[in-house]
Each structure stands twice: as structure tokens, then as C-alpha cells.
Amino acid sequence: MTTQPKFAQIKQHIIAQIRSGAWQEDQQVPSENALSAQFRVSRMTARRALSELTDAGILTRSQGLGTFVARFKSQSSLLEIRNIADEVKERGGHYTCVVLSLESIAAIAPIAIALGVEVDSQVYRSVLVHHENEQPLQVEERFVNPQLAPDYLQQDFTGITPHEYLIQIAPLTEARHTVEAIMPGPDICQWLNMFHEEPCLQLIRRTWSQGGIVSFARLISPGSKYRLGGHLTFKK
């Protein structure tokens, strides 16, 4: 039997504490020093565990304050969740889509955590490139919970976007997302027809329906072609 790496053991310990309710949202988790002492590992190993859980949206890190359990279902959003096909059409553009991948895969730890499923269980993955006037606008990589969208792999996503389909079968109740600037890798550059490196806008989004977490998506757009806007209404 293969021994699980120490950083993975730390991650499982943290996840177990959160799932059991022992650690609540916004609660500070043990520091790198405390975890390295508890599991008898280097600080680098403890840092890797915390960093991977932060990247998956399970934890949040605040400079100078520490690491905390993320707010999974109560974070308000500054971004309106819209269908990209509708956005393109509203601008008077012609929307098309290229499906690069549509498959069932074994969920590695970060994906399993993000979807609330077991590690190595089967989840659905799609990779699409959304186009406006025949020019690539956005790469969408999405992981979907099969229990909430069992027919996902049978859909023709050149005719309906994953977002459109999912809100039909599992109406959206909550969402959480983060936005950051990244430098794209070779695959993203190729898919977006980027002939020179430029910063891209990456949006990581998880969505919930009444049945649980529906999907975990990564949306990447060239910084020169896409922007975010929003409208806020404040209660008196």
C-alpha cells in the first residue's frame, strides 16, 4: 500500500475538521509552524498543503493575520453571473463555440474538494473556447458533479453553453468566485490565438443549487479583450 504524502495528509486533516464542523467559516486554522510540528514535517510541506487548499477556495489567507476557513456559501458577489453567449449577442456580435474536451475523469484532491466529492471519484470535465465574430474570447474549463448533472456529457455545447444547460437542470442558488490576473501557459496562448504573452483575466467560480455544489469552473480571457463590470444595489 502506497504511503500518502505528508502534505496530502495535512490537507485531509484540515478538510475533515471543516466537514465535521469542528472548524467553522472564518475560523483561523493552525499556522505553518503549528502544522509542521504536529505532523513532523518541514514548513515548506505545511505551506504546500495550505497553499493548495487556498487555491481550491477551501481556505483564505490574509497577509499578517493568518489562514482562515473560507466562507463557502455566504459570500456575496460583485459580479453578475451572465451567459457569455448572451453578452456577445447583446454587443451585436456573432457567438460560436469550439469544444476541446468533454470527458469523465477521476477527481484529484483540489477538484474533489471544490465539488464536495470523494477523491478519485468520477466527475465530468469540459474545455471550451468561446468565440466572438470568429475570434477566441474566453477559455472555459469546467468540472461538474455528475450526481447533479448526470447527462452533462451528452450535451451539444456548440448549441447551448454549459452555463445555460446547468441553470436549466440545477437552478443556481449561490455562487463564489475569485478574480486575478495571470500569465497564460502555452495551451491557453494557443487556444486564444495569442501570438505574444499578455496578462489574462482568470475567474474561478463555484456554483451551488439546492442539491449541493454543481460545478467548479476556470474562465480565462485575454486582458486586452475582456473586462468585468458590475452593478451594486445597497439596502437602506
Residue-wise pLDDT for 126-142, tens only, equals 999 999 889 999 999 99
Quick one: pLDDT at residue 225? Answer: 66
For residue 130, give the nearest of 26, 13, 15, 221 by alpha carbon.
Answer: 221
Quick one: pLDDT at residue 233? Answer: 46
Lookup: cell for 108: 484529484
Quick one: pLDDT at residue 97? Answer: 95
3-state SS record for the chain: CCCCCHHHHHHHHHHHHHHHCCCCCCCECCCHHHHHHHHCCCHHHHHHHHHHHHHCCCEEEECCCEEEECCCCCCCCCCCCCCHHHHHHHCCCCEEEEEEEEEEEECCHHHHHHHCCCCCCEEEEEEEEEEECCEEEEEEEEEECCCCCCCHHHCCCCCCCHHHHHHHHCCCCEEEEEEEEECCCHHHHHHCCCCCCCCEEEEEEEEEECCEEEEEEEEEEECCCCCCCCCCCCCC
Low-confidence spans in the chain with pLDDT less than 50? 1, 73-79, 230-236
Quick one: pLDDT at residue 16? Answer: 83
Domains annotated for the chain, with CATH where assigned, are 6-69 (1.10.10.10), 84-222 (3.40.1410.10)
Quick one: pLDDT at residue 145? Answer: 96
Amino acid identity at 11: K
Quick one: pLDDT at residue 231? Answer: 44
Lookup: cell for 125: 470535465
Quick one: pLDDT at residue 151? Answer: 97
Buried residues in 125-137 as b, exposed as e (16+ CB within 10 A): bbbbbbbbeeebb
Q: Decide if 216 contacts 111 (C-beta within 8 A).
A: yes
Rounded distance between C-alpha atoms, residue 85 and residue 66, angstroms: 40
Quick one: pLDDT at residue 236? Answer: 46
- CB-side neighbour CA atoms (13 Å) of 68: 14
